[in-house]
Amino acid sequence: MLSSGSDFEKETELLDHLSSFNVKAVAVYPLIVNSKQRHRIENALLQCPCPVILAGAILPGVDVPVVIGDGFDAGYTMTEYLLQRGCKTIGFLSEDSLCASVRDRYMGYTKALQDAGRTVDGKHVLQFPDIAPNFENPLEGCVSQAKAWMQQVGELPDAVVCSHDYLAHGCLVAAQEKNLSVPGDLSVAGIGGYAYLNPVDGAILATYKVPYKKVGSEVFQRLQRLSSGENLKNTEAHLYLKGTLVSGNTA
The string of pLDDT tens digits covering residues 52-86 is 999 988 888 788 899 999 999 999 999 999 999 99
| Same domain membership, residue 205 and residue 216 | no
4 confidence band (pLDDT: 50, 70, 90): low
Q: Which residue range is the domain that position 43 belongs to?
A: 9-69+211-242
User: What's the structural domain count of the chain?
Assistant: 2
Query: Percent of the chain having pLDDT more than 70?
Result: 96
More confident residue, 156 or 1: 156
What's the confidence (pLDDT) of residue 1? 56
| Same domain membership, residue 84 and residue 34 | no
> Is residue 53 one of the residues assigned to a domain?
yes
Tell me the pTM.
0.91
For 199-220, the pLDDT digits (tens) are: 788 889 999 999 999 999 999 9
Q: From CA 215, how far away is CA 74, in angstroms rounded?
A: 15
| Same domain membership, residue 203 and residue 115 | yes
> Is residue 249 one of the residues assigned to a domain?
no
> Is residue 94 one of the residues assigned to a domain?
yes
> Is residue 82 one of the residues assigned to a domain?
yes
| Same domain membership, residue 102 and residue 186 | yes
| Same domain membership, residue 164 and residue 129 | yes
For 122-140, the pLDDT digits (tens) are: 999 999 987 877 778 888 9
